[in-house]
Homo-oligomer: A and B are copies of this chain.
Amino acid sequence: MIRKKVTLAEIAEIAGVSRATVSLVVRNSPLVADHTRQKVERIMADLDYVRDIGAARLRNNSSRTIGVIVPNLVNAFFTEFLSGAEEVMGLDDRVVLLANSRDDTLRQDQILQRFRGHGVDGVILCPAQNTSPDLPDRMRRWGLHLVQSLREVGNDATDYAGADYVAGIGLAVRHLVQRGHRRIGFLSVMARTSAREERLTGFARALAETGAEDGGIVEAELSWEGAMCSARKVLDLPAAPTAILCFNDVLAAGLMAGLRQAGCQPGRDRAVVGLDDLPLAELTYPPLTSVAVQPATIGANAARLLARRLASPDAPILRDIVQPVLHIRESSGG
């Protein structure tokens, strides 16, 4: 197969603009007028102009590609997170490539090696469970810039974008206590991560502050089915909690469906509160009270941290933490 390589000069000639203008279009400069950009881009598309990433990388030290690794895609949380990161990276002419580690560190390593081999500029990582705390150091040695998000390993070794789940759980517990609940249970995922630790810390702290009782902790697989199946265990908790706080909305929505199947009406017989406030919180029955953390904002924050890190590799480490807000709906009683 012969590929005739189109040059910038040829594109410039056809478009009737200077080679410098075409070059500015390629680099997505704001100096080029919109109609000129569109014309040049159309010609580049027609001629199958492909920017040689290898050459561009040597020139700019940049592939204008960043990688995002998430531990699962069960959760619409991550799709919103990704859309926020893409929005910010798109403004900067960067393409975001997503990969799913399935919470498996070997797979995560494999993905990182591919990213490294392809020369991506940097990575936004929500680390798989059991990720070694030295991963940030290893990636630094590889020259691969890293921002952690939502979960983290390595004790503040990197920039981090997340939400204050300790505060978020506090909002939820105080709301339930105000509604008269004294025994509150917690439905958690199984994966041992900083995200789980943070929520359980918030739970213990909020119970201590409000004087409410720990109604017991149940663990479920992070899936709709797993959450539905957990309803039986929740109903059998010896402390008989009247309210259940859930690790996230997926677990909360699944739990409510499971409770209904068991003849227990969420919002009336048991209060249920979720975390994340996904769009589905308005679609469940009853609509789900949930702690909103704006996943798209967290994704955008992570992307901004990475863009800053790429521009200034030696800048001080930053943490960007979203403050959560409680959205009260019917699932927590009336």
Binding site for B on A (CB under 8 A): 1, 3, 41, 45, 48, 50-54, 56, 63-65, 67, 73-74, 76, 79, 82-83, 86, 90, 95-100, 102, 106-107, 109-111, 113-114, 116-119, 138, 141-143, 223-225, 228, 253-254, 256-257, 279-280, 282-286
Contact = CB atoms under 8 A, between A and B. Distances in A.
Given A73-B83, A285-B284, A50 B257 contact: no
B285 A285 contact: yes
A106 B114 CA distance: 26
Q: How many copies does the complex hold?
A: 2
B113 A51 contact: yes
Contacts of A67: 97
Nearest to A95: B114
Nearest to A68: B98
A44 to B, nearest CB: 9
A96 B279 CA distance: 27
Contacts of A117: 50-54, 56, 63
Contact of A106 (B41, B96, B256): B41
Given A51-B113, A256-B283, A283-B283, 5 more contacts: A3-B143, A76-B76, A79-B79, A95-B114, A224-B283
